[in-house]
């Protein structure tokens, strides 16, 4: 049987070495290298204070990697000082992947977004779980205080150029029509777990759950 969407080459895409990558891309220019800072400056602080969303990458000791979204009101990530951030742990799916990874391997990569901004902010460093009361107190929202937070010792900070967001038209409201082409979460769950229920019922339950955010 021939597959309809068979890849052009019926084998794994070939691998190129780092030398070959460098050959193709050229050396990064000094300007780009020098924009990497080792602390939170005034502009980065303002960016973080207006960011309601970030992605957080961690990996376990064996290198098994994971990336997860975090979001709340703008400024939900607290800048404790020039070298230290704290990210609240809000109720999510209770999968402690990031915490487990950080316990084995403290490397962390964060990418902050500000709606409407084409540039994104990258912050890399070392992180650990904390329950420091003064830190958690600053994260209280809707009368709820998180149980845990992630403290990040900042090592590298830099703005990432806007090309990816421009090409992706990420903030163009017209782009939101794309979501309409996807199966609903209910439909996906019904298919994946082979459930015998009306996906709309499941959908309603999930929507119900989404109303309670804290």
Binding residues with another protein: total (CB under 8 A) = 20
Q: Give the shortest CB-134-to-another protein separation in angstroms.
A: 6
> Exposed, middle or buried, 96 (CB in 10 Å: 0-12/13-18/19+)?
middle
Residues 106-135 that bind another protein (CB under 8 A): 134
Rounded to whole angstroms, the Cα distance separating 59 from 179 reads 29
Rounded to whole angstroms, the Cα distance separating 79 from 85 reads 5
Residues 132-161 that bind another protein (CB under 8 A): 134, 137-143
Nearer to another protein by Cβ, of 85 and 139: the residue is: 139
Nearer to another protein by Cβ, of 153 and 207: the residue is: 207
**What are the CA-CA distances from residue 139 to residues 7, 76, 92, 107 (Å)?**
49, 7, 16, 23
Q: Give the shortest CB-208-to-another protein separation in angstroms.
A: 8
Enumerate the β-bridge partners of residue 130.
149
Q: Give the shortest CB-31-to-another protein separation in angstroms.
A: 28
Please report, as ranges, the residues that interact with another protein according to CB under 8 A.
45-46, 49-50, 52, 73-76, 134, 137-143, 208, 211-212
């Amino acid at each position: 049987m021939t597959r309809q969407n068979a890849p052009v080459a019926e084998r794994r895409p070939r691998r190129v070495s780092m030398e070959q990558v460098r050959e193709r891309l050229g050396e990064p220019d000094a300007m780009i290298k020098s924009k990497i800072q080792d602390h939170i400056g005034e502009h980065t602080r303002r960016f973080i204070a207006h960011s309601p969303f970030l992605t957080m990458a961690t990996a376990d000791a064996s290198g098994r990697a994971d990336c997860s979204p975090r979001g709340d009101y703008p400024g939900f990530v607290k800048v404790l000082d020039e070298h230290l951030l704290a990210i609240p742990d809000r109720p999510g799916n209770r999968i402690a992947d990031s915490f487990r990874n950080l316990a084995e391997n403290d490397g962390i990569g964060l990418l902050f977004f500000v709606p409407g901004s084409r540039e994104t902010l990258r912050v890399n460093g070392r992180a650990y779980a904390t329950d420091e009361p003064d830190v958690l107190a600053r994260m209280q929202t809707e009368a709820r205080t998180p149980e845990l937070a992630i403290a990040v010792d900042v090592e590298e900070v830099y703005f990432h150029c806007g090309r990816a967001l421009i090409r992706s038209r990420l903030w163009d409201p017209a782009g939101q029509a794309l979501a309409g082409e996807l199966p609903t979460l209910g439909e996906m769950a019904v298919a994946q777990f082979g459930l015998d229920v009306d996906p709309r019922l499941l959908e309603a339950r999930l929507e119900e759950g989404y109303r309670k955010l804290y």
